Amino acid sequence: MRTIVSSKGQVVLPAELRERDRIRPGQQFDVERLRSGQYLLKKLTAPGQAGTLDWLLACPEKDWFHPLPSESTDEI
């Protein structure tokens, strides 16, 4: 896949990669220069949630999660 660096120095990740790896706006990355012309981009996990969402989404059983009904504080 190819992308272009904008005049602001921004690189856009192709939609296919963003969807496949669940990359959302605001997601942070580390960029490492390996050598001239080669870079490594690493997605960072959110503090306090190190892999929790990925772990939950990786559950092999489809539709296993069912939210519990809850009351609004207005109803209490």
CATH of residue 5's domain is: 2.10.260.10
Residue 69 lies in a domain: no
Residue 57 lies in a domain: no
Give the number of domains in the chain: 1
14-48 pLDDT per residue, tens: 999 999 988 888 889 999 999 999 999 999 876 66
Is the CB of residue 43 less than 8 Å from the CB of residue 27? yes
**Residue 18 is part of which domain span?**
1-45
Cα 18 to chain centroid, rounded = 7
Q: State percent of the chain over pLDDT 90.
A: 34
Residue 74 lies in a domain: no
Residue 22 lies in a domain: yes
CA-CA distance, 14 to 2, in Å (whole number)? Answer: 8
Residue 75 lies in a domain: no
Residue 76 lies in a domain: no
Residue 70 lies in a domain: no
pLDDT of residue 59: 72
